Amino acid sequence: MKSIGITANLNNPLVPKALKRVIRWCQKNRIKFKVDSNFAGVGVSTNLLCHKSQLWQGNDFLVSLGGDGTLLSATQAAGKHQIPILGINLGGLGFLTQLTVKDIESGLGRIKKGHFTTERRLALQAKKVKPRQDEVIFALNDIVLHKGEVAHLISFEIWVGKEFICSFTADGLIVSTPTGSTAYSLAAGGPIIHPQMEAIIVTPICPQTMATRPIIFSADEKLIVKLDKVRARSQVMVDGQSGFPLNKDDQVEIKRAPHQVTLVKFPEASFYGVLRQKLHWGLLPKAGK
């Protein structure tokens, strides 16, 4: 490790202190670094600032200070460039992050010594094919087609290639990766899938019929979502961030992205252990607790 990029959640009060700790560690270990230019006001020299979308250039790793949302924002900015991303959790669930705030220095030291692994995760891409648009958006967790208003529904048709799969009316639709299977999709009743599997999970949000259930497709399939009844504020959201608006008769193509997202992993961070620890999955309730 010779150089790292650093990004963080600007609204987290723990960030300034954690950022200074990362910078001190870099200086002590003679590691070059660049900081997200959004943090110009925390005493970082101008020559050390860089726009988030350029943090991957010339760096060996990208360090994300915050929670899962911050890490997902980092993947939006740099994930397609394959730079390994290390998530350091500063509160909240932190399902995707690898370190806590107390482990900043020791964790960075482990990376410097090469005591880590990386995982390459499936990413998805979405774009409108009717009307045809060139804008392509990418997701590590999920692509959500949402009504955007209370008490209104959207009518969907799902096709795989030229084959009709199903139609239904619902509050929305979640198309997620295995990485995102423990996020919004899980809350909407979708299955848990190991993040090293390659699959596309389609989970309706509050469908109007009991017959509509989540379905899992091969990661090699190309999904076409056709919209019929759509309200004015309906939109596509990508990893919790705004994507593009939806209108009646739009068709959205969702498929495997041409790149994967690379995450830094430590051997003790077992996926099933994280499920038990953070989601209390598979644990019997104890009386009086």
Q: What is the mean pLDDT of each run of 10 residues along the chain (289 residues)?
A: 90 89 94 87 76 89 92 89 92 84 93 93 95 92 87 89 93 96 95 96 92 94 91 86 87 96 90 86 71
What's the confidence (pLDDT) of residue 287? 63
- Closest Cα partner for 120 from 153, 161, 79, 174? 79
106: which 2 tokens? 């020791």
**pTM assigned to the model:** 0.91
pLDDT for residue 282: 80
Alpha-carbon torsion 194, 164, 251, 148, what sign? negative
103 is a catalytic site residue: no
DSSP string, the chain: --EEEEEE-TT-TTHHHHHHHHHHHHHHTT-EEEEEGGGGGGT--GGGEE-GGGTTTT-SEEEEEESHHHHHHHHHHHGGGT--EEEEE-SS--SS--EEGGGHHHHHHHHHTT--EEEEEEEEEEEEEETB----EEESSEEEEE--STT--EEEEEEETTEEEEEEEESEEEEE-SGGGGTHHHHTTPPP--TTS-EEEEEEES-SSTT---EEEETT--EEEEE-S--TT-EEEETTEEEEE--TT-EEEEEEEEEEEEEEE-TT--HHHHHHHHH-TT----TT-
Tell me the β-bridge partners of 197: none
**Which member of 68, 171, 239, 250 is catalytic?**
68
Question: Residue 88 corresponds to which tokens in the numbers above?
Answer: 């350091």
Residue-level pLDDT at 42: 65
Domains of the chain: 3-116+266-279 (3.40.50.10330), 123-259 (2.60.200.30)
The β-bridge relationship of strands 142-146 and 235-238 is antiparallel
